[in-house]
Amino acid sequence: MVAYDDDDDDDDGVVICGAAGGIGQPLSLLLKQSDLITHLALYDVVNAPGVAADLSHINTRSTVTGHGKDGMEEALQGAHTVVIPAGVPRKPGMTRDDLFKINAGIVRDLAEGVARHCPGAFVLVISNPVNSTVPIVCEVLKQHGVFNPKKVFGISTLDVVRSSRFASELSSAIDPKTTRVTVIGGHSGVTIVPVLSQIPGGFAQSLSKEQLDALTHRIQYGGDEVVKAKDGAGSATLSMAHAGARFTNAVLEATVAGKTGLVESTYVNLAADSESTAAFRAKTGLEYFAQDVEFGREGVSKIRSLPALSEHEQTLLDAAIPELKVNITKGTAFITDNSKI
Ligand SMILES: NC(=O)c1ccc[n+]([C@@H]2O[C@H](COP(=O)([O-])OP(=O)(O)OC[C@H]3O[C@@H](n4cnc5c(N)ncnc54)[C@H](O)[C@@H]3O)[C@@H](O)[C@H]2O)c1
Ligand SMILES: O=C(O)C[C@H](O)C(=O)O
């Protein structure tokens, strides 16, 4: 470990796994601004000590430590929150599911580390394919008897961020900073279902069918836009760091500072609020879904019921469900029954 200060109190310690990567570095920089974090532990199989040394000079509250290849245990020990952007990104022509082969094992090993060294931590998963990596984390924690569905989140905030931004490009009445769009389903292609009909002022209703289809498609495939533009050099990193910091800060504000009324769309295990989701689970057979979640001290305090969907959005949701099921089964089986992969 490379430490730049002494602080053994990890009650509000945050670990970034994959901290030296394209997302990990700017995400760490953004989280270094937080007054709610006392210890920022940067773990990566390469370059973490250098990134930590650099960030540790910034005059904000947190101590920064860097942990290399063999430092997973000391990084995770007693952590409050673990954010996981570790793994490979897409290249042009790949789907997120194409990353499963490499990223599933990386995420499994990190989840094992969480189960052993910080079993009570909030786990925030960025690594793709999120629709499958979140079930992987949950199954590992279940195997260790430490699973709390209120504490595991797939970060799908980039879809929310894109929705506000792309919608604002079509209407000057939309302030992208303050307009929050609910995005349900999952985090890949057709599983991304933006509920544009809920934007105040009749925005979606004012669009032609062609405009609405084009906007929906742009949100669902916004990731591809970046992968194509980066031309082999990876996928979204800076916008993802922004989205990841927004989501992590919301979790910390609720769980550390006790702030109430915070809501984000996020991909969760629906057992996190079994009562509110019972009818939906029975109807769809889904165990995981992205939906608006209210945060509390323990993580998920409530999963909101689905907003009223337009006919267009219902069609999108109907198309999302079968693909989500395949993604979820694949992630779950990776831990429970590898013969099915
Ligand atoms: N959820 C989202 O909306 C979203 C958005 C963008 C990217 N992503 C995903 O995030 C992941 C990371 O993307 P990136 O652009 O930062 O990639 P990157 O290759 O730039 O960085 C990944 C980092 O993970 C590290 N790493 C690999 N294996 C590790 C392990 N076992 N333990 C710790 N660290 C490990 C690498 O050394 C590297 O520094 C990808 O899977 C990508 O698809 C998700
Ligand atoms: O598109 C990707 O592969 C990365 C990420 O999931 C995104 O939505 O930008």
Residue of 16, 42, 43, 44 with the most ligand 1 atoms within 8 Å of its CB, for mutation: 44
Is the pLDDT score of 6 beyond 50?
no
Task: Tell me the average pLDDT of the chain.
Answer: 95
| Amino acid, res. 327 | N
pLDDT at 10: 60
What gap in Å lies between CA 45 and CA 248, rounded to an integer?
Answer: 22
User: What residue segments make up the domains of the chain, in order of their start?
Assistant: 13-155
DSSP assigned state of 172: T
> Cα dihedral sign for 330, 241, 186, 217?
negative
Catalytic entry in 117, 187, 242, 312: 187
ipTM above 0.95, yes or no: yes
Mean pLDDT of 10-30: 93
Distance separating the N- and C-terminal Cα atoms of the chain: 36
pTM confidence score: 0.97
Residue of 27, 153, 159, 235 with the most ligand 1 atoms within 8 Å of its CB, for mutation: 235
Mean pLDDT of 17-34: 98
Is the pLDDT score of 3 beyond 60?
no
pLDDT at 341: 56
Q: What's the pLDDT band for 8 if we cut at 50, 70, 90?
A: very low
Burial (CB < 10 A; 0-12, 13-18, 19+), residue 242, is middle
Q: What is the DSSP string of 52-118?
A: HHHHTTS-SS-EEEEE-TT-HHHHHTT-SEEEE--SPPP-TT--GGGGHHHHHHHHHHHHHHHHHH-
80 among known catalytic residues: no
Q: What's the pLDDT band for 12 if we cut at 50, 70, 90?
A: confident
pLDDT digits (tens, 9 = 90+) for 94-121: 999 999 999 999 999 999 999 999 999 9
* CA 136 to each of CA 72, 84, 189, 236, 292: distance values in angstroms, whole numbers, following the listed order: 19, 13, 20, 23, 22
Report the top-level CATH class of 13-155: alpha beta
Q: Measured in angstroms, how far is the CA atom of residue 23 from the centroid of ligand 1? A: 7
pLDDT at 339: 60
Is the pLDDT score of 84 beyond 50?
yes
pLDDT digits (tens, 9 = 90+) for 191-229: 999 999 999 999 999 999 999 999 999 999 999 999 999
